Structure 1
Amino acid sequence: MQDKNKGYMGMYLSAFYFVIIVFHEYYALYVYHYGQQPLLDKTYTYFVRSGLPTKGMMARVLLLGLLMGGIMIYRPIKKENIDRTKSVVGFTISLSILFISGLPYGTSLSGMYITLMLLTCSYLGLMTYGMRLFQFLDFMNLAEKDPFNDANETFKQTEERIDTPHSVNIPYAYTHKGKQRKGWINFVNLFRSLLVIGTPGSGKSFSVIEEIMAQFIDKKFAMVIYDFKFDTLTRKANGYLQEAKKKEGDNSEIPFPKLYRICFDDLRMTHKNNPMDPYRLTNQSDAIDTAATLMKNLNPEWIKRQDYFSRSAISYTGGCIWYLKKKSEETGNYICTPGHLTILTTVKIDILMEIMTKDVEVRQILVPFRDALEKEAMEQLSGQTSTVQISLSSMATKEIFYVMSGNDFSLDVNEPRYPKIVSLQNNPERKEVYSAPLGLYMNTILKQVNKPGKRPMALIIDEVPTLFIMLLRTIIDTGRENKIATILGLQSVGQLILDYGRELADVIYANCANVICGAAKGETARRLSELFGKIHQERISKNTSSSDVSTNWSTQMMELLPKSKIASMSTGHFAGLLADTFEHQIPEKKCYGQLLPDIEGKERA
């Protein structure tokens, strides 16, 4: 009540001051119409001699201050449904008229009439629209100003570029406290593996994987690329390699890697290599691993199923591979290839078992089959062997047999003197057929490269769920020691769980220290939101009564990156958690913003 009384006093004072201004500036009009009055003459003389700002611009500024102060103290009843645009426009026009009325008008009567009318209208307009302004000014609807709580869900991020011999640095833009800022995503320790997650079209290949490829090629890393979309990444890798050679030249002490391709769709582009080469199979376990890689890629349901039937089929295939290896060494004929394996498994089981079990080492692998043969359990045997025959028959194409029939290069990709970039090209239309031989290549390469004393190397696997890699967990766990940076691209964690099984998928997710994610939903969004954790967020609540608006401020621990925000990310926007090293610490390991890849570099490549 006291505030209202003070408000009334302020507005009465402004009205009184308005009368004084009118009297001082327009007393001449009164004299013209009614003649001079002794009392009014003395009053006019007093105001002239007093030195008070009762005329001109200064008087109008003081009048405005008194009027607005009175309205502010009065606190008019708050209303949400006031037309804000009309109120602001009306107040602005009234304010303009107020100062226009203070311009010199000479000695003409018409000028005095006009300015008097303008001054009166402006005062009434300021009072009317000023009241309306204060009726909605305090009632700022936060739901309209920041409906998705974006201002609270921002944080200061790393703006320093941390460049090391093994780092990848990607610039990006982010928002903090309503301002656009520039930062750097510093992958200083990709040897601890990176998961790149994002739904189709989120930009994970364009913004992240290609940037990593380009910078690693500049730093002369050896590389293995799994190119699921035929030759998309391969063409980029070749372009980046040629561009890097132009910049530096290929005559330095540390040579650039040489590009090799494994491609079943275009034999003009491909190189040949046999991952089942006899010299690579040093013992029976290598043959079993080779068989498991082939059969699990040809029968993806076996990845999660470890029953007697699937293990027996793998043992049978492993026995055939070891038999071919032994015969290849004995005869000097190059017969240990996937093509020979496919043909060998078509031989009648009783004849084949009788021949192969003569070799002691092969017999050890085929013990269950030999026992079944002796017990004349032919139905059981034929069921297991026919599964192998049907599976391997899908690989029986002349293109696959040709590519896997010889060796144009070795698979020690990160050999220091002769580094390589090996591209394994799949085709989405034939992935059921090509995944098995490509998985075999990948498994064989990982055995060769995960050794000390080699050149730093990147293992880039886009759409990793489309390829079963037996040694993937091993390379993630131990590749760091041998400077192998593993980069895995996938569309969602659910996809990885579906194809690799929950247990193995959880281990892969947990052991990748670097994670960067674009638009994602479901379990992927939930996991990323948990990685970001919670922060103290400012909470504002406004309560509106008939006479006042009360504002309460508080803080509350809430999610820094909610699942809904992850699901609605635009193309090129990513959020991530980075790993650092002892030498290069990253104070803020979280990042969230729009990546700014090197577009010009991509166009040149």
Structure 2
Amino acid sequence: MNSYQFLPQIRHPLLLQGTTQSAAKRPLTGIDIGGLIGQFMNPEGLSMLGILLGLAVFSKIVGNGKGKVTSGRLCDTAEKMAATGLAIKQMKDKKRQPVTLWSGKPTYWFNGQWKGLSARLQTLLGASPTVWFPNAERGTLVIGAPGSGKTFSVIDRMVESAFQQGFPVIIYDKKGEQMKLHAPLAVRYGYDVQVFAPGEAYSGVINPLDFMRDAQDAVMAAEIGQVIARNASPGESKGNEFFEKAGELMAKGLVQLAKSSSYPDLAFVYAIIQLPNLVDRIYHAVHRPDNHPLKMDRWIASSFSQLLSSKDAEKTVAGIKATAEATYSSFIQKDLLRAFIGRSTIPVVLEGKKCIIFKLDDQRRAVVGPLLAAAIHLCVVSNLSRVRSDPFVYCLDEFPSLKFDRMDQWANEYRSAGGVPIVGIQSLNQLYNLYGDKKGAAIASALSTHILFNPGDLETAEKYSKRYGEVEVLIKSRSTGSSMGQQTSRSVNWSEQLQKKPLISADEILRFPQGKCVITSPAYGTGTEALFPYPLKIPVRYNDLKRAKDSESLWDTRIRPQLENRAASLSVDRGTGKSINIDEELENRIRAACKMLPHPNDPDEPVTVADIEDKSIANEPLSQTAESLIFSSFRKKLLDADIGRSS
């Protein structure tokens, strides 16, 4: 039998040839991709593909829903997209507030008019142009132990983003490292940079008394005295409240007296304090006849009311005077005096591309700190006590190293005026130790955006772990049983139970490596909720690192010499053309203090204006005799403070 007789006879060779060719083109997988795509190349198919793509994007944006027993969850794509949209809008509007800062110069896939679309697309695909911080005027608190990366990863990058947008900036630098980065960096962005660093040759001059309108400006005089006094004895006060209040009141009066003199600065305040029998001199000046040329102004005299009411109680007067003297005597040192004697050379009201860096000498923090705190306080108040046309960024890293009692008010009240605070601390306990629990909590809550690096402190980690919320965990349990009867049977039961655990546990926070943090910001939210935790490791790109390294290399070679030359040129007496001699300046203030507040028993005391003019010529020997005891006592104190010797 023919083995092929059961095969169908092929009568159409052409069809066989066509079938053979199609079989040769069949893909190895057995799926014709081209044919499959071809099925969708029509209106109905394209609509179906669009719907599927939309559902996929919607699923990615919406993310996971709420749990049954908890509502905690991490920041998802929807919140990141919302923050990106806010940032793009705020940068485009360029208003006083709201304001956007960022960490790392933004990199866009498409430039020009496509930047906004590019930023949103990049965020959707998980490649955001940068880490955005919209609504920065509501305040940013950065927490992290030394070495955690808080300054390098966030604070320095946010300051640079302010430079890139041309905002005026002031920076408090505790160690001097940020100054070496930001001073050259600001110059590269076209900024006029000023540095206030008492004790350094490149420091300019800020005279706190220049912030007073006149000698009757008791409010500003009180502000100056309070800030200096509270930084001279930081921490929660444990001293005698009466002496502290009375000392602050006396200090206010001394500042007003100095403002009314021909030497309106803190060196003159110290010269007044050193006068022997100071209380008798003040009492005598207050109770002179109304037409007497040396009668104290009534608005200044009111500041000495508490001191004079205790005139006959020697111990009380001594305590009040000692409190006031301690406030102003510590920073009267020769190398520090140049930074606050005479008129201010640093303009503190900033507009446009202006930057002031306040550097603390950490080895002499107790001495320099009060003066630096007063300068920063007055600078912030002067810039934000009025509505500005542009934002004003004030960066206070290592915030608890100085004391600013009004920080919570600044953050809450000054944001509408254009204030943009950036505050850095190591842990919440560090903040509470200086300000107390209630005041510290008020400062932390006044700053809306919190960026938590590894705090190295368990209590801080636990508080933030609770703040981040909890997440559901489904636990399955298996149980087996057996029954003995006529027939032995074995049963297996499964049960499910919902339990809660921290979204981010405290021990996980304490294991964060350098650069990893959790961001909670009102900008990262939906229409109904915000402040979802956003854990990430802050990326610092190569270009940012290179720009920072190049800027730091310019400090010693270019920026510092220019600052020193400018400071030296401004320290010249305009009348003589010679450099200011600190010793001579102090002696001039001593003489002026003696003439302003002469002793009641001084035989050379003037009675009329004519007497004041005549004594400068006719009775010069007697005047020198009357002052000899004061000078000898004063010079001894100067020598003890190492400022009486010539430089």
Q: State if a TM-score over 0.5 links the two structures.
A: yes
1:476 and 1:365 mapped to 2: Cα distance? Answer: 31
In the alignment, residue 372 of structure 2 is paired with which amino acid? L
Distance 1:531 1:356, change over 3 A: farther
Query: In the alignment, what sits opposite 2:242?
Result: 308
Map residues 86-165 of structure 1 onto 2, 5 A cutoff. Answer: 156=76, 158-160=79-81, 161=84, 162-163=87-88, 164-165=90-91
Query: In the alignment, what sits opposite 1:188?
Result: 134
Q: Does the residue aligned with 1:347 lie in a helix, a strand or coil? A: coil
Q: Does the residue aligned with 2:344 lie in a helix, a strand or coil? A: coil
Unaligned runs of 5+ in 1: 1-151, 173-179, 246-256, 328-332
Query: In the alignment, what sits opposite 2:303?
Result: 365
Query: What is the Cα deviation at residue 527 of structure 1?
Result: 2.4
Q: Is the 8 A contact 2:100 2:133 kept in 1?
A: yes
Q: Is the 8 A contact 2:140 2:423 kept in 1?
A: yes
Query: In the alignment, what sits opposite 2:269?
Result: 341
Q: Does the residue aligned with 2:208 lie in a helix, a strand or coil? A: coil
Distance 1:581 1:444, change over 3 A: farther
Q: Does the residue aligned with 1:400 lie in a helix, a strand or coil? A: helix
Q: Is the 8 A contact 1:198 1:517 kept in 2?
A: yes
1:352 and 1:560 mapped to 2: Cα distance? Answer: 68
Q: Say if 2:516 is the partner of 1:579.
A: no
Map residues 95-494 of structure 1 onto 2, 5 A cutoff. Answer: 156=76, 158-160=79-81, 161=84, 162-163=87-88, 164-165=90-91, 166-170=99-103, 185-229=131-175, 231-245=176-190, 257-267=191-201, 269-277=202-210, 279-280=212-213, 283-301=217-235, 307-327=241-261, 333=262, 335-348=263-276, 349-354=278-283, 357=286, 358-373=296-311, 376-405=312-341, 406-413=343-350, 415-416=351-352, 419-450=353-384, 451-494=386-429
Instruction: Name the TM-score, length of structure 1 as normaliser.
Output: 0.64
**How far does the alpha carbon of each residue in 1:63-115 deviate from its partner, in whole angstroms, 9 at most, with x for none?**
xxxxxxxxxxxxxxxxxxxxxxxxxxxxxxxxxxxxxxxxxxxxxxxxxxxxx
Query: What is the Cα deviation at residue 595 of structure 1?
Result: 0.8
Query: In the alignment, what sits opposite 1:510?
Result: 445
Q: Is the 8 A contact 1:323 1:356 kept in 2?
A: no
1:526 and 1:317 mapped to 2: Cα distance? Answer: 43
2:441 and 2:547 mapped to 1: Cα distance? Answer: 39
Of the structure 1 ranges 547-556 and 570-579, higher mean CA displacement relative to structure 2 is found in: 547-556
Query: What is the Cα deviation at residue 403 of structure 1?
Result: 0.9
Q: Is the 8 A contact 1:519 1:569 kept in 2?
A: yes
In the alignment, residue 343 of structure 1 is paired with which amino acid? A
Q: Is the 8 A contact 2:187 2:193 kept in 1?
A: no
Distance 1:195 1:545, change over 3 A: farther
Of the structure 1 ranges 212-221 and 296-305, higher mean CA displacement relative to structure 2 is found in: 296-305
Instruction: Name the TM-score, length of structure 2 as normaliser.
Output: 0.60
Distance 1:585 1:191, change over 3 A: farther
In our comparison, the structure showing a higher alpha carbon Rg is 1
Query: In the alignment, what sits opposite 1:91?
Result: none
Query: In the alignment, what sits opposite 1:47?
Result: none
Query: In the alignment, what sits opposite 2:502?
Result: 559
**How far does the alpha carbon of each residue in 1:274-293 deviate from its partner, in whole angstroms, 9 at most, with x for none?**
12226446621211111011
Q: Is the 8 A contact 2:523 2:530 kept in 1?
A: no
1:396 and 1:204 mapped to 2: Cα distance? Answer: 35
Query: What is the Cα deviation at residue 243 of structure 1?
Result: 3.8
Distance 1:188 1:381, change over 3 A: same
1:167 and 1:473 mapped to 2: Cα distance? Answer: 21
Query: What is the Cα deviation at residue 477 of structure 1?
Result: 1.0
**How far does the alpha carbon of each residue in 1:35-72 deviate from its partner, in whole angstroms, 9 at most, with x for none?**
xxxxxxxxxxxxxxxxxxxxxxxxxxxxxxxxxxxxxx
In the alignment, residue 507 of structure 1 is paired with which amino acid? A
Distance 1:465 1:544, change over 3 A: farther
CA RMSD of aligned residues (A): 3.0
Aligned residue pairs total: 423
Query: What is the Cα deviation at residue 181 of structure 1?
Result: 5.9
2:466 and 2:397 mapped to 1: Cα distance? Answer: 24
2:258 and 2:443 mapped to 1: Cα distance? Answer: 34
1:432 and 1:271 mapped to 2: Cα distance? Answer: 20
2:425 and 2:347 mapped to 1: Cα distance? Answer: 29
In the alignment, residue 598 of structure 1 is paired with which amino acid? R
**How far does the alpha carbon of each residue in 1:154-192 deviate from its partner, in whole angstroms, 9 at most, with x for none?**
6635554443323123379xxxxxxx9656642101111
Q: Is the 8 A contact 1:192 1:579 kept in 2?
A: no
1:552 and 1:154 mapped to 2: Cα distance? Answer: 28
**How far does the alpha carbon of each residue in 1:354-391 deviate from its partner, in whole angstroms, 9 at most, with x for none?**
35533311221111111111xx1111111221232234
1:507 and 1:561 mapped to 2: Cα distance? Answer: 24
Q: Is the 8 A contact 1:304 1:501 kept in 2?
A: no
Q: Is the 8 A contact 2:522 2:531 kept in 1?
A: no
Distance 1:263 1:583, change over 3 A: farther
Unaligned runs of 5+ in 2: 1-71, 92-98, 107-124, 287-295, 483-489, 549-647
Query: In the alignment, what sits opposite 1:568?
Result: 511
Q: Is the 8 A contact 1:189 1:581 kept in 2?
A: no
Distance 1:244 1:351, change over 3 A: same
Of the structure 1 ranges 271-280 and 564-573, higher mean CA displacement relative to structure 2 is found in: 271-280
Q: Is the 8 A contact 1:272 1:402 kept in 2?
A: yes
Of the structure 1 ranges 213-222 and 347-356, higher mean CA displacement relative to structure 2 is found in: 347-356
In the alignment, residue 356 of structure 2 is paired with which amino acid? V
Q: Is the 8 A contact 1:304 1:500 kept in 2?
A: no
